[in-house]
Structure 1
Amino acid sequence: MTTLASDPSTYVGNPDVPDDVFADVLRQVTDFVRTRVVPRETEIMTSDAIPADLRAQVAEMGLFGYALPQEWGGLGLDIVQDVEVTMQLAYTCLAVRSMFGTNNGIAGQVLVRYGTDEQRARWLPELAAGRVVASFALTEPGAGSDPAGMRTSARPDGDGWVLDGSKRFITNAPDAQLFVVFARVHRADGSEAGIGVFLVPADTPGLEVGAKDAKMGQEGSRTADVTFNGVRVGPDAVVGGDVEVGYRAAMSSVVRGRLIVAAMAVGSAQRALDESVAYAASATQGGTPIGDFQLVQAMLADQQAGVLAGRALVREAARLYATGADTRIAPSAAKLYCTEMAGKVADLAVQVHGGTGYMREVPVERIYRDVRLMRLYEGTSEIQRLIIGRSLVRAAQTGRS
């Protein structure tokens, strides 16, 4: 976890969770995934729910707050450690990580980085313990990868605010006790003042959660639309106490989330590769293990190369993000490459399995469906290409000026 100290921009470790302690955390997470979750993947898929006993064990292990600061009840893992944990968690069905991912990620990090002391004290211990599940309410029917197009509004009302609008595909919405809501702020004179972030408890009058979405994959992960009809919140609901921090909070949280999605893609691709190798070594065609056929070996080789490259890229991008050396291009490049790679690896896994790979309850069939979403959320692959290309050109232009 520690790299050469001769480079001043190099990540040199997390003092809150030193390498030996983190190694033990990672071993526990890996053991939990392989021995407790993997055997129950079919149960999770067919029931479209996470068993209560698994949720209880997740809370007991501290996974609802593993990336939240220790002072607020979390484990205090940094982004470099987070991607390592995420790669292990994504080895199994992604719904398990989704259950607590928003607490640690895009919702929890908004509070960590931008919340007031009072907001952190009120919500972060609850998030870390799993007593509160948070939802990150950013995406809208007309505003997905580009939050600048959002229409949900917040207008001043006395000393508070009134929210109106709707959000779509909101993870954990059916189970959330807290919504971190992004809204376009309108001043008293009707003019706009950018995007603000508001903390809205789920039981606030006027907040309605729609029916659970029926999705292609990721069974057990519950998403739904959320509607705000005259939802009134007090001044203490504004994250950071300032409506002008909202857009920065949205962008910084989404960028960090891109690294996490990239790590998830690597974990899923590793599982698809492992399933492919195991099947190729045992399944036979005409009495010969199919893994002895060179064309099958070529597919395994392509899978292995993709996984190795993706893992290296995620680790390097997380290091650059942690040091501040690159908080824009590297996360987008990691997200773009790793999610596209996972799709290719999953497709090859089905091909290696032949007709068996098309059958439900075969892991590679589920993985094939699960990883497809990764190219869409936290910014589509097309958006990542635009970010990377535009940033490279602007950097070159700035360098010449």
Structure 2
Amino acid sequence: MPQDSSLEVTKRIDDWWSIEKHDILADPFGKMAGAGLFQIGLPGAGAALDTYRAIAIAEQAIAAKTGLLGLASGFAARQLTARFFISGFADASQRATWLPRIAAGQVCAAIAISEPGAGAHPKHLQTAAEPHGAGYVVRGRKAWITNGPIADVFLVLSVIAVEDERKRYGLFLIPRETTGLVVKPMQALDALAPASHCELELDGCRVPAAALVGHMADAYPVMALPFRDVEDTVGTASISGLLSWLLEKSAALIERSEENALRLGRIAGLVSLVHAASRLAVMALDGDGQEVPARTIGVRLLARDIVSEIRDLLVQVKPLDDAIARALAAYDLLSSVAREPRKVRQARLGNSLWSEKL
């Protein structure tokens, strides 16, 4: 990986912060385009930025500067969707149509996999794309679409066939203005502001064959399933950044004493381990080092313990600062997302230890 990736991303973050810090929530993503943040993680801006690591560096810095997990995760969702799905699987025409506009901040792409009452489990998803003439007709509903309210194009996972009672999936690029596509509001999650979510209703959306991304037999195991791990791994960067922010804010509020110094020192040491493990986990996504599933699991579990210690430390601070309270609420909320899949991976890791002894 180019050694100047951190320097290049940090420079862009500093440029953004110099003009944004006084009024972050008024236009949370507008100034990012001017600072070149939406080029991060995408081809065209140089090898230093064309990595998952670059996205993670930016995500961590945003969380560390603002304490806003919603802003950091909302930024990362935009970049990961574009990098993983469009840069990774789209054809040359699709990439030429969308990537330059996404990198310029003119377009936001959002991934639509989960459905109301079904989550993201492939057995339960119902949205389907039926062949129609030279294209497809897409019908169904999607939910919990990060950045959906501001998205210009949706990547919609849809059933394209059922073989031996097993569903096969395709992924479709569907512009917001497509007839039959309706963006529906969801209950606002204030703790995650300025991140936003929505539902989609697709009522007979006609799309051309060229809207299909990739030509694999089933997009779920090739795209949807691996993306969950990529998103979870890169997401450790926002947690890492938030821990830095919480540690700094907490230190400024508590009484100076030998006991508190020992506690702060312990927390700082643990936070440094989260930083290091998160960095190594993300670098492996770029082929730099070995992927270790236990690493991401460990980062999240250690972060949980650190947040618990910070909460215990802040008991002596009354009333609690609103920004800290919001950050802790955002952490709790995001930690509850995809909890079951994470438990499955954790159990799989535990079972593998038994298997290795057989």
Question: Shorter-chain-normalised TM-score: which range?
Answer: 0.7 to 0.9
Task: Report the counterpart of residue 348 of structure 2 in structure 1.
Answer: 390
CA distance, structure 2, for counterparts of residue 301 and residue 21 of structure 1? 30
Please list every run of 5 or more consecutive structure 1 residues that lacks an aligned counterpart in the other structure.
Answer: 1-12, 45-49, 281-289
Whether 1:374 and 2:334 are equivalent positions in the alignment is yes
Task: Report the counterpart of residue 4 of structure 1 in structure 2.
Answer: none
Residue by residue over 1:243-294, the C-alpha shift from the partner in whole angstroms, topping out at 9 and shown as x without a partner, is 52343111222211112211101101110000011112xxxxxxxxx22162
CA distance, structure 2, for counterparts of residue 132 and residue 75 of structure 1? 22
Name the SS for the 2:218 alignment partner: helix
Task: Report the counterpart of residue 162 of structure 1 in structure 2.
Answer: 137
Give the conservation status (yes or no) of the 8 Å contact 2:281–2:292. no
Please list every run of 5 or more consecutive structure 2 residues that lacks an aligned counterpart in the other structure.
Answer: none
Residue by residue over 1:22-75, the C-alpha shift from the partner in whole angstroms, topping out at 9 and shown as x without a partner, is 414314414644x4444435xx2xxxxx42xx534210222113001127x997
Give the conservation status (yes or no) of the 8 Å contact 1:136–1:179. yes
CA distance, structure 2, for counterparts of residue 111 and residue 232 of structure 1? 20
2:256 to 285, 291, 310: 291
Matches within 5 A, 1:252-331: 252-280=226-254, 290-292=255-257, 294=259, 296-297=260-261, 299-323=263-287, 326-327=290-291, 329-330=293-294
Amino acid paired to 1:307: V
1:229 to 183, 192, 203: 203
Residue by residue over 1:209-248, the C-alpha shift from the partner in whole angstroms, topping out at 9 and shown as x without a partner, is 1125321401221211111111121111111144523431
Amino acid paired to 1:26: T
Deviation at 1:383, TM superposition (A): 2.3
Matches within 5 A, 1:1-400: 13=1, 18-20=2-4, 22-30=6-14, 32-33=16-17, 35-40=18-23, 44=25, 50-51=26-27, 55-70=29-44, 76-91=49-64, 92=66, 93-144=68-119, 146-186=121-161, 193-242=167-216, 244-280=218-254, 290-292=255-257, 294=259, 296-297=260-261, 299-323=263-287, 326-327=290-291, 329-330=293-294, 332-333=296-297, 336-337=300-301, 340-341=304-305, 343-344=307-308, 347-348=311-312, 350-352=314-316, 354-357=317-320, 359-360=321-322, 363-377=323-337, 379-380=338-339, 382-391=340-349, 393-394=351-352, 397=355
% identical aligned pairs: 23
CA distance, structure 1, for counterparts of residue 153 and residue 29 of structure 2? 18
CA distance, structure 1, for counterparts of residue 314 and residue 206 of structure 2? 50
- Could you say if the C-alpha distance between residues 127 and 246 of structure 1 is closer, same or farther in structure 2, counting changes exceeding 3 Å? farther
- Could you say if the C-alpha distance between residues 160 and 332 of structure 1 is closer, same or farther in structure 2, counting changes exceeding 3 Å? farther
What TM-score does the superposition give when structure 2 sets the normalisation length? 0.87
Give the conservation status (yes or no) of the 8 Å contact 1:255–1:327. no
- Could you say if the C-alpha distance between residues 346 and 373 of structure 1 is closer, same or farther in structure 2, counting changes exceeding 3 Å? farther
CA distance, structure 1, for counterparts of residue 306 and residue 51 of structure 2? 24
- Could you say if the C-alpha distance between residues 250 and 20 of structure 1 is closer, same or farther in structure 2, counting changes exceeding 3 Å? same
Give the conservation status (yes or no) of the 8 Å contact 2:142–2:200. yes
Name the SS for the 1:356 alignment partner: coil
What TM-score does the superposition give when structure 1 sets the normalisation length? 0.78
Deviation at 1:356, TM superposition (A): 2.3
Amino acid paired to 2:156: V
Deviation at 1:200, TM superposition (A): 0.6
Name the SS for the 2:29 alignment partner: helix
Amino acid paired to 2:144: F
Residue by residue over 1:279-311, the C-alpha shift from the partner in whole angstroms, topping out at 9 and shown as x without a partner, is 12xxxxxxxxx22162x3454245323312211
Task: Report the counterpart of residue 5 of structure 1 in structure 2.
Answer: none
CA distance, structure 2, for counterparts of residue 61 and residue 81 of structure 1? 15
Name the SS for the 1:224 alignment partner: strand
CA distance, structure 1, for counterparts of residue 265 and residue 11 of structure 2? 27
Name the SS for the 1:150 alignment partner: coil
Deviation at 1:202, TM superposition (A): 0.5
Give the conservation status (yes or no) of the 8 Å contact 1:235–1:241. no
Name the SS for the 1:185 alignment partner: strand
State the Cα RMSD in Å: 2.9
Consecutive aligned runs of 4 or more in structure 1 exceeding 6 Å deviation: none
- Could you say if the C-alpha distance between residues 384 and 212 of structure 1 is closer, same or farther in structure 2, counting changes exceeding 3 Å? closer
Name the SS for the 1:149 alignment partner: coil
CA distance, structure 1, for counterparts of residue 229 and residue 136 of structure 2? 28
